[in-house]
Structure 1
Amino acid sequence: MTLNRRRLLGAAALGMVATACSPKPKPAGSTETAAPPATATSRAPVPPDWNALRAQLPGGLVLPGDGGYELASQSYNPRFDDHRPAAVAHCTSVADVQRCVEVARNARMPVAARSGGHSYAGYSVPDNGLVIDLRGMAGIQVNGDAAVIGGGARLMEVYAALAGVGRALPAGSCPTVGIGGLTLGGGIGVTARKFGLTCDRLTAAQVVTADGEQRTVDGGDLLWALKGGGGGNFGIVTSFTFATEPAPDITVFSLKYPAGSTADVLGAWQEWVTQQPDELWSNCIVSAGSPPSCRIGGAVVGDENLAKQLLKTLPRASSILIQGKGYLDAMRYFGGCSQRSTAQCRPQVEGGQLPRESFTASSKVLDSAVDPATLVNLLDGRSAMDVLLDSLGGAVGRVKPGDTAFPHRKAIASAQIYSSTSAQDVAEVRDGLPSKFAYVNYIDPAMPDWATAYYGDNLPRLRKVAAKYDPDKVFGFAQAV
């Protein structure tokens, strides 16, 4: 089968909420520059005046019937091409976002922000709703170890800009995923064990809340919720401020194993990965078949000698790649962009070389090792399907579950279940894995008890934050907290 980047990636993201603008000065000691959120109202809906909104948006407003609507209403996944938003607003400033939120709030219509457009459920292109497209707000500014990144920025743009000044941010692998959705759902990536989740590096954010106010947040309940509480729940983030790290050299590795050895290799990998230092991150990708096969990949923050030392206790592989790279080249490798420039690592619709992909996916988060025979049996005889186990632990596990909204701090791995053909296969494998928890950035409309699965014990606090900042549920959607 051909799953392109999914065979290379360990993590992806939602693409639901974000954009760009430098934070404005705020009073010392303050965590919000705007007044407290308004209480719930019961005003009658006001139909949107699209002509008036169009006149206020320099980036343009696209309606059904307009030239370019079919393209503007697309998400990354062609499965959602039947979604028909009422309008797509191309925002270039915070004021644009505020105008759009006001229109959606007054009309009581669905509204969602879109940067990467990778929502696994298509939530960033709501039927009969307003899409707030943030690609026009993708600026990246670096000052010392702090980076201010617009929510419309995509990961390869972020990596290239940071690497250009010798800095790095732990984040995901897919080059076209938006920084917004990734961060707001947590942000699992190939340097997470060394540097933490993307949300762990978030120090401040600018957010347009449901009342149309822009808030500069550097603490308190809203910032806590933005650190893993899921995209689309609390407002539209117009910029993120992150604490970055010096860009390290990274050694990438890939070990392939013959079909029939999967249970033994998976069992050994699960034991091995929990014993490794923070410098090593690894995944084990199990591919469906008769019998299933697997490979082990990963990254070591360090040189090839360290990687070889750490890998020597794994089962003997049929082929091995160990290669030292600079930070940006390593991120290109994991994004399937080793032979492409940063400009080429954009979607084809924006002049790049990366195609869209049609898939169905779900997840589980594993608090303990999965029985290898169970997973092999679940995938035996199926096709066009992978389960990607991405290691956690290290720096991720040293944060308490309640210190951020991301609750899965004691997990050993996440499991992304990915099929290019069968939603039924995905559901059967998901329900066959013995865990009640899952990763919100692989959001699944059919996930049993989804709210508990994604947020665990943090759910009650998240709901209080959502009710405080969005009492009218302006940002409500099928799986909003």
Structure 2
Amino acid sequence: MTVDRRSFLAALGGGGVAVLAGAGPAAALVDAWPGRAPATNRMPPDWAKLRKRLGSRLVLPGDPGYAVHRLGYNELNDGHRPAAVARCASAADVQACLDIARGHGIPIAARSGGHSYLGYSVPNGGLVIDLRLMAHVEVGRDGIAFVGPGARLIEVYAALARAGRLLPGGSCPTVGISGLTLGGGIGVLTRKYGLTCDRLAAARVVTADCSLRTASPGSEDALYWALRGGGGGNFGVVSQFAFRTAPAPALTVFSLSFPRGSAAEVIGAWQNWIAHAPFELWASCQVSGGNPPTARLVGCYVGGPTAANRLLDQLVAAARVRPSSRSVQPKTYLGAMMYMAGCSKDTVANCHLVTEGGRLPRESFVAVSRMLGPRPLDAGRVAALMTGRTGVDLLLDALGGAVSQLAPRETAFPHRSSLASAQVYASATRSGQQAATRTVDAIRDGLARLGATGAYVNYIDAGLPDWGHAYYGQNLERLKQVAQHYDPDHVFAFPQSVARA
């Protein structure tokens, strides 16, 4: 599609969600959805009318490809059966979808990468506005990158690397740029370059009334504020992003494994070390449950291996535990992103885990989150939470640095003073889902008792207590006002939409 640079540049001169809406549990019927948009017409949407516009890009049950296009990334949500999947190629397509489907009382969700933990981007009985065809990435000489909402991270990174630029973002290669940005965007270059949403210069948004708006400084200010961390699905469907990129420097990646029984020492040393580290350093402390738990470190440094090794030596000395393995490697920007993605080779093809229109190598898991406060947690008690819990990982991803340079109210992302995010992750089959959920919930609640009370909306959690304040903190009320203004009829309602908090 043609990128409308002129209108975007005009907006800039004036001053996904993957997951943009949601579905309930797999067994839920459409009428069981709390907070659904009121149905002014109880008849189904006129899919035949939408078919005239989209042709085969409208995929209905029974159509070729429906079995693939209806699926999200998490296999536990495979019971969701949308009424339609509309593969949009333009903002006008999105407008047509909303014009035909709103007011019929069905859930409407946009999908970029499809990584919604709870399957909110594939609403049961609803309309999926699939944005994958809108995956363009264009980088201007001024460093502004125009990115389609369906672009996956590996596509964004590869295009930026060709232009010698970077954008801070996550490590999973098939996550969609939309969901990542709208929820904040924690990633491996966060401490140096900020969250992904901090780099958002402007966005084109189709709102619930089918209007196409430009949100930027000086244009739709409240919407622009809300899009930077207010979560997908609450305010409209982004049809294009503009990001301020940075020059791509040489990077160093590293990984350290520590012997069994040293998790408490590593967690304690890591928290103090990362709190005082230079902005150029990012690291994730990863604890695997067991008897006893084990700890490892992976990270990225903006600079060369010599300086990175000096910093790692400080951590090892503080932990007083010699790592059982240690790897420190210089990388290009794209090479570092490939390494963090776990790709076997430094080629983009190896990071495309999802084959369009074919098999979907996916995952089956449950996961929850907390946000650490500004002060370290009791490392011994954190390790105790993981003792005996084989098959569960606790991922502590560093914040601070550039993230902390903005005030909590400056964007919708409120966790500016957090030391790190904490994700609790467990692989789970459908038969073992309830047991796995109880385990990750117990660890989540244990972290809250230790002082980690916030949560990250991009790790959306059906059982999270007081989820509105956990995700959005002091920004919740303002977000509710923005959602009410742009979607007064709750067209994009889902179980954890801002309007329902």
Query: TM-score scaled by structure 2?
Result: 0.88
Residue 217, structure 1, aligned to residue 199, structure 2: no
CA distance in 2, matches of 1:197, 1:459: 19
CA distance in 2, matches of 1:215, 1:319: 52
Residue 167, structure 1, aligned to residue 165, structure 2: yes
CA distance in 2, matches of 1:129, 1:23: 33
Tell me the residue number matched to 1:14.
none
After the TM superposition, which residues 38-117 of structure 1 pair with which residues of structure 2 at under 5 Å, given as runs? 43-58=40-55, 60-117=57-114
Tell me the residue number matched to 1:204.
202
Count of residue pairs brought into register by the alignment: 455
Tell me the residue number matched to 2:330.
324
For the structure 1 residues 258 and 127, does the alpha-carbon distance in structure 2 shift closer, same or farther, using more than 3 Å as the test? Answer: same
Deviation at 1:58, TM superposition (A): 4.7
Cα offsets for 1:352-399 (capped at 9, x unmatched) = 998201110000000121211212111111111100000100000001
CA distance in 2, matches of 1:352, 1:310: 45
Tell me the residue number matched to 2:470.
453
Tell me the residue number matched to 2:156.
158
Tell me the residue number matched to 1:118.
115
CA distance in 2, matches of 1:20, 1:430: 45
SS in 2 for 1:314: helix
Tell me the residue number matched to 2:382.
375
Aligned residues of 1:21 and 1:94 also touching (Cα < 8 A): no
Tell me the residue number matched to 1:287.
288
More deviation in 56-65 or 180-189?
56-65
Deviation at 1:69, TM superposition (A): 1.3
CA distance in 1, matches of 2:199, 2:359: 30
Amino acid at match of 1:467: Q
CA distance in 2, matches of 1:425, 1:232: 28
CA distance in 2, matches of 1:265, 1:286: 9
Aligned residues of 2:75 and 2:362 also touching (Cα < 8 A): yes
Choose from 402, 427, 443 the match for 1:395.
402
Amino acid at match of 2:109: A
Residue 244, structure 1, aligned to residue 242, structure 2: no
Tell me the residue number matched to 1:22.
4
SS in 2 for 1:180: helix
Residue 268, structure 1, aligned to residue 269, structure 2: yes
CA distance in 2, matches of 1:294, 1:354: 31
Cα offsets for 1:248-299 (capped at 9, x unmatched) = 1110011100110110111111111111100000110000011100101111
Deviation at 1:300, TM superposition (A): 0.4
Query: TM-score scaled by structure 1?
Result: 0.91
CA distance in 2, matches of 1:234, 1:20: 24
Aligned residues of 1:366 and 1:413 also touching (Cα < 8 A): yes
Aligned residues of 1:344 and 1:353 also touching (Cα < 8 A): no
After the TM superposition, which residues 184-195 of structure 1 pair with which residues of structure 2 at under 5 Å, given as runs? 184-195=182-193
Seq. identity, %: 56
Choose from 406, 411, 419 the match for 1:404.
411
More deviation in 344-353 or 249-258?
344-353
Choose from 440, 445, 469 the match for 1:426.
440
Aligned residues of 2:287 and 2:395 also touching (Cα < 8 A): yes
For the structure 1 residues 160 and 245, does the alpha-carbon distance in structure 2 shift closer, same or farther, using more than 3 Å as the test? Answer: same
CA distance in 2, matches of 1:287, 1:353: 30
- Return structure 1 stretches of 4+ with deviation > 4 angstroms: 26-31, 351-354
Structure having the higher helix fraction is 2
Alignment gaps of 5+ in structure 2: 16-36, 317-321, 429-435
Aligned residues of 2:68 and 2:358 also touching (Cα < 8 A): no
RMSD, aligned CA: 1.9
Aligned residues of 2:183 and 2:458 also touching (Cα < 8 A): yes
Aligned residues of 2:103 and 2:491 also touching (Cα < 8 A): no
SS in 1 for 2:100: helix
Residue 305, structure 1, aligned to residue 319, structure 2: no
SS in 2 for 1:187: coil
CA distance in 2, matches of 1:249, 1:63: 47
Amino acid at match of 1:342: V
CA distance in 1, matches of 2:40, 2:92: 23
CA distance in 2, matches of 1:271, 1:193: 15
Deviation at 1:41, TM superposition (A): 8.7
For the structure 1 residues 158 and 364, does the alpha-carbon distance in structure 2 shift closer, same or farther, using more than 3 Å as the test? Answer: same
Tell me the residue number matched to 2:19.
none
Amino acid at match of 2:94: V
Tell me the residue number matched to 1:148.
146
For the structure 1 residues 348 and 384, does the alpha-carbon distance in structure 2 shift closer, same or farther, using more than 3 Å as the test? Answer: same
Aligned residues of 2:285 and 2:298 also touching (Cα < 8 A): yes
